[in-house]
Amino acid sequence: MPSPSSRVSVRLKRAAAAERALLAQRRERIETARAGARTELERLERELADIDDHLALLIRLAPGTADDAQPTQRNGHALPQPEPAVTRMLQGPAMRETAVRLLVEHEPPVDAIHYRDWYRLLQEHGFAVAGKKPLAVFLSQVSRSPVMRKATSAGVYALDRDAAERLRRELSRLEAQLHALTGQRPDRQDGGLHTRRRELLLAIGRHERALDEALRGLSPADGDGPHEAGPQRNRQP
């Protein structure tokens, strides 16, 4: 016959197990809600970028109004001002690499920045973004940079100065997995091995391109700019 203490222990264990199950369910609901909130924030940021870009265009088309003296503020960030004389139009990877280069070479160092401030920094250095909605295009591009990650504040991006080394490690891991599959013979009734090899090859290609871009953005610039340097996979940032 179990002792009173053992019965209490069983009851406590059951209660703890039930409590863990409830907390796990609650955590899952909160994580789902957080993911939805982040998606909504990103949608609102893109919408704001679109509106800000449209307002900036109207200011350029009709300058000299009373509103021009005090640009509209949202979340503490002024709307983009009319662009200075453009020395180069940017798009695609060249835009991302140039934008990253401006942060890397900025004095004092910049490790986190709101995308509107980042866009103005690009303009101040004589660059322009190709597209009908430059600010929205800029946000879409820089959010895909392999050396940038989202910060805790909406619209703020943080510079990951260790991105190149992280990508090297991940690339080595993927290549080791592919090498391990090389000697295996595929099962005639199962195409899983071919599928896995194809997935690894695609992932390796993505990581190689990301590493090349990270090196061009984070390494000392050569020649006319970071976007003109070729792939330098073994180069240290």
| pLDDT at res. 66 | 42
| pLDDT at res. 122 | 92
**Sorting pLDDT into bands at 50, 70 and 90, what band is 167?**
very high
Please report where in the chains the tokens 């000392």 appear, as a residue: 220
The Cα 177–Cα 183 span in angstroms is 11
| pLDDT at res. 119 | 92
**3-class secondary structure, 103:** helix
Please report where in the chains the tokens 């900036």 appear, as a residue: 56
| pLDDT at res. 226 | 40
Q: What is the pLDDT of residues 121-154, one digit of tens each?
A: 999 999 988 888 888 889 888 888 999 988 888 8
Name the residue ranges covered by the structural domains of the chain: 38-159, 163-228
The Cα 87–Cα 85 span in angstroms is 7
* Identity of the highest mean pLDDT range in 1-10, 44-53, 74-83, 111-120: 111-120
| pLDDT at res. 79 | 44
pTM of the model: 0.54
| pLDDT at res. 71 | 42
Angle at 231 between CA 225 and CA 235, to 5 degrees: 90
What average pLDDT does this structure show over 94-103?
Answer: 89
Average model confidence (pLDDT) for the chain?
A: 75
The number of CA neighbours under 13 Å toward the Cβ of 104 is 23
Q: Which of 112, 196, 177, 122 is nearest to 150 (CA)?
A: 112
Omega prior to 226 cis, within 30 of 0:
no
What average pLDDT does this structure show over 88-112?
Answer: 87
Q: For a pLDDT cut of 70, what percent of the chain falls above it?
A: 67
**Which residues does 73 contact at the CB level (< 8 Å), separation at least 6?**
79
The Cα 90–Cα 129 span in angstroms is 5
Q: Which two tokens stand for residue 200?
A: 């690894």
Q: What is the pLDDT of residues 68-90, one digit of tens each?
A: 434 444 444 444 444 445 568 88
